[in-house]
Amino acid sequence: MKRPGHRPPREPAGLGGTQVEGYHAVRELLVAGRRRLRELWVAGGPAPRPALAQLAELARQRGALVKVASPAALAQVARTDAAQGVVAWAEELEPVPLEALLVPGAGAQPVLLVVLDGVTDPGNLGSVLRSAACAGATGVVVGRHRAAPFTPAAMKAAAGAVEHLAVAQVPGVPAALREIARAGVWVVGLDPAGDQDLWSVAVLDRPLALVLGSEGRGLSRLARERCEVVARIPQPGPLPSLNVAAAAAVACFEVARQRSGA
């Protein structure tokens, strides 16, 4: 349903991500300050939640239009099942050039990129972004085609991580992997049929790109061919593979563990 008084949304020039729902996602949007918040709706009632009142005040300080709406009105504009009493509209997420992700800043940890090869579920996209940000990844690479959009569901699952991560959008993942490798960044793919356990990969403390394939199909043939190492996550249990979001979390934190010397 369209919001009363608002024009239909135009096609995004960036990554999208203009509608943000959920307390944590909206809070990080405001705290990070990387893009402008245009409008914020918060749930009103006889006993408004203090946390939502704080968000509303911060939004006003940022120059955004703030509306106290009924739960029914919020439900009409929300596009996730649990907006947690808050819906925001912001400027689009802008991608960065791939080359900007290949050189760490002064004194920074080695590059750690998460590359998504055909991940199409917005919930998985958001969960991967959250794990990547928590583990200290320096950027995420997504394809322009056959890739999950930055929908409200993705933004909510990311819980604000996208406000802190640099994201590059590339025409094709295999070509991007070639460019990443030429920049001296190791390209490590994850696959249940990988050649070695992830724990034993010797290059996790070096500049690194972790490549995760699509739900169900895994790494595409061309992306797999571009990987210098294809590793598996040991799984002693009865199921054959992890969900892509869970695999990303395990891999990112294994890199963080090895880099910390633990």
* Residue 44 counted as domain residue: yes
CB 166 within 8 A of CB 142: no
Tell me: pLDDT of 143 over 90. yes
Verify that 146 and 215 share a domain, yes or no.
yes
pLDDT tier, 109 (very low <50, low <70, confident <90, very high otherwise): confident
- Domain range spanning residue 184? 98-260
Torsion of CA 256, 35, 95, 156, to 10 degrees: 60
Identify the pLDDT of residue 148: 96
Residue 254 three-state SS: helix
Q: What is the pLDDT of residues 52-98, one digit of tens each?
A: 999 999 999 999 999 999 989 999 999 999 899 999 999 999 999 99
* pLDDT (mean) for 201-222: 95
**Closest residue by Cα to residue 149 from 114, 127, 191, 121:** 121
What does the mean pLDDT of the chain come to?
91
Is 235 contained in some domain?
A: yes
Local confidence band at 4 (pLDDT 50, 70, 90 cut-offs): very low
Whether pLDDT at 12 is above 70: no
- Each residue of 43-65: pLDDT tens digit? 986 666 889 999 999 999 999 99
* Residues 102 and 81 reside in one and the same domain: no
- Residue 11 falls inside a structural domain: no
Higher confidence at residue 105 or residue 159?
A: 159
Q: Are both 75 and 108 inside the same structural domain? A: no
Q: Is residue 4 part of a domain?
A: no
Sheet architecture: strand order including 65-69: 19-21, 86-90, 37-43, 65-69
Residue 233 and residue 256 in one domain: yes
Whole-number Å distance between alpha carbons of 51 and 42: 10
What's the CA gap between 43 and 206, in Å, rounded? 47
Please indicate, yes or no, whether residues 198 and 227 belong to a single structural domain of this protein. Answer: yes
Domain end, chosen from 39, 57, 90, is at 90
183 within 8 A of 209, measured Cβ to Cβ = no
- pLDDT classification of 207: cutoffs 50, 70, 90: very high
Of the residues 70, 90, 110, the one at which a domain ends: 90
Same domain, 157 and 78: no
Residue 216 token pair: 């169900």
User: What's the rounded Cα separation, in Å, for the pair 101 and 8?
Assistant: 34
Residue 10 resides in a domain: no
Confidence of residue 235 (pLDDT cuts 50, 70, 90): confident
Same domain, 48 and 23: yes
Count of structural domains, the chain? 2
Specify whether 158 is located in the same domain as 43: no
The enclosing domain of 145 has a CATH number of 3.40.1280.10
On whether residue 143 sits in a domain, the answer given is yes
- What CATH number is associated with residue 72? 3.30.1330.30
- Residue 8, in any domain of the structure: no
Position 3 scores a pLDDT of 45
CA-atom Rg of the chain in angstroms: 20
Residues 157-175: pLDDT tens digits?
999 999 999 999 999 999 9
* Local structure of residue 253 (DSSP, 8 states): H
Same domain, 131 and 231: yes
- Residue that is last in its domain, among 41, 72, 90: 90
Please indicate, yes or no, whether residues 156 and 85 belong to a single structural domain of this protein.
Answer: no
Identify the pLDDT of residue 244: 95
pLDDT range class, residue 241, cuts 50, 70, 90: confident
Q: Are residues 103 and 52 in the same domain?
A: no
Convert the pLDDT of each residue in 13-47 to its tens digit: 589 999 999 999 999 999 999 999 999 999 986 66
Q: Please indicate, yes or no, if residue 1 is contained in any of the structural domains.
A: no
Instruction: Kindly state whether residues 255 and 137 are assigned to the same domain.
Output: yes
